Amino acid sequence: MQTIVLKQIYTGKGFDTHIKEVCPKVQIYCTMKETGCSWSGTRSECSCHIQTGIFEKLKPTLDNLHESIRNLNSYIEQLKPQTEQQKIQLENPMVDLLKQIENKQYIEQLKPQTEQQKIQLENPMVDLLKQIENKQNEQHQQMIEGKFEVEMGMKEQEDSVRTTKSSIRK
């Protein structure tokens, strides 16, 4: 019945404002609920609770703490971009170092394979060098033999020329 009368007195937004902000019969929670007070009752009982409650005595301290928390949260938000930038600056060299480590590990993995290939290439080269050396020795020997044959042939010719000269002189 009282609500109907109130609706007639307060029309439109006036009624809503009365209920939310003024009405002494509406059930509400303590204004210190967010700091841990679990009291609830009518608006008219709340002022008595607040005056006798321990939370009212702590209110200035709690307000300071809440302000400090808000300031710290704001400071944290200001530091986030800087922190992200520093994180990126640290990650880039780390990525480079990881790549270098991976490359070094890859090189170490390739060493046995490279050594094997080196041996496989050196063996035919040694064989080729031996073949070249043998050919050179053969050619040198042939040159020596050819020179000897030439000298022998020249000696024979000289002997033949001497014999011919001596026959002619006689």
Given a cut of 60, whether residue 82 has pLDDT beyond it is yes
Give dist(CA 37, CA 134) in Å, integer. 107
Q: Which residue has the tokens 């709340």?
A: 46
Please enumerate in sequence order all residues whose Cβ is within 8 A of that of 23, keeping only pairs 6 or more positions apart, or say none. Answer: 6, 43
Three-state SS annotation for 66-134: HHHHHHHHHHHHHHHHHHHHHHHHHHHHHHHHHHHHHHHHHHHHHHHHHHHHHHHHHHHHHHHHHHHHH
Q: Which residue did the predictor score with more confidence, 9 or 109?
A: 109
Given a cut of 50, whether residue 29 has pLDDT beyond it is yes
Structure tokens at 96: 């480079």
Kindly state the greatest CA–CA separation across the chain. Answer: 179
Structure tokens at 103: 């490359």
Given a cut of 90, whether residue 154 has pLDDT beyond it is no
What per-residue confidence (pLDDT) applies to 118?
86
Structure tokens at 10: 């307060």
Given a cut of 50, whether residue 58 has pLDDT beyond it is yes
What per-residue confidence (pLDDT) applies to 71?
97
Question: Residue 50 pairs with which residues in a beta bridge?
Answer: none
In the Cβ-directed half-sphere of 125, how many Cα atoms lie within 13 Å?
6
Give dist(CA 79, CA 30) in Å, integer. 35
Given a cut of 80, whether residue 94 has pLDDT beyond it is yes
What per-residue confidence (pLDDT) applies to 170?
58
Given a cut of 50, whether residue 85 has pLDDT beyond it is yes
CB 36 within 8 A of CB 28: no
Given a cut of 50, whether residue 166 has pLDDT beyond it is yes
Given a cut of 80, whether residue 47 has pLDDT beyond it is no
